[in-house]
Amino acid sequence: MKLYSGPLSLFSRKVEIVLAEKGLAYDRVMVPFNQAEGYFPKHPDVLSANPKGQVPVLVDGELILFDSTVINEYLDDAYPDPPLRPHAPDARARCRLLELAADEILLPMVARLMYRTEPADPDPARQRAREDDGKRAEAVIEAYYGTMDGQLGDKEYLEGMFSVADIALFMDILFAARLGGPPLEPHAALTAWYRRLCERPSVAPTVAEIAEADRILSR
């Protein structure tokens, strides 16, 4: 098994956590990345596998997959122990909705903070516009943290079991934190959940690697 990943690719890191959770051996290929140009030059194997030219790309025997959600669903079906999606149809549907919310509601707001690790825009007006947009995104992120805090309540994980929904939302919040987003401390349940995931053996190495990549690559 081979995974094409990136040092600051949120979606690739989701797949890495799933692989670690399942104890699956694989070769990891880190594609070139820098904050000024992004993923450049594009890795030829990634370009041939994914029309978007983006990581992650997973190779398992003759099967080649891209898109973290597709990859993680495949891994959970092909290597079901331990399961990372609930079995009951209603719980599985809720898990999918939470993962969808991570990718399509929370992440777009987090992405609006990514300018903070990139070179500053040489045009002061454009830079101010980025900063103002980031402040508006922070307000939306903060409101979502309140929603998640209520969803968690006294539960250890979002759907009772550790799942792909926890992984997806954790990665969004980790990236928001590294980008100087809203603090978690006002939300006790969310803070406890986040700390619990940071200490999980499948997650902790990813947190450390992202911190090191930031030290080397980010502004």
Domains in the chain: boundaries? 2-78, 89-217
Peptide bond between residue 86 and the one before it cis (omega within 30 degrees of 0): no
Would you say 15 and 59 are in contact if contact means Cβ atoms under 8 Å apart? no
| Of 57, 71, 62, 74, nearest in space to 4 by CA | 57
Reported as a single tens digit per residue, the pLDDT across 104-145 is 999 999 999 999 999 999 999 999 999 999 999 999 999 999
Region 188-200: mean pLDDT is 98
Region 87-101: mean pLDDT is 96
Q: Does 1.10.10.1200 match the CATH number of domain 89-217? A: no
pTM of the model: 0.95
Homologous superfamily, domain 2-78: Glutaredoxin (3.40.30.10)
| Of 46, 41, 17, nearest in space to 29 by CA | 46
Q: Would you state the pLDDT for residue 199?
A: 97
Percent of the chain scored above 70 by pLDDT? Answer: 100
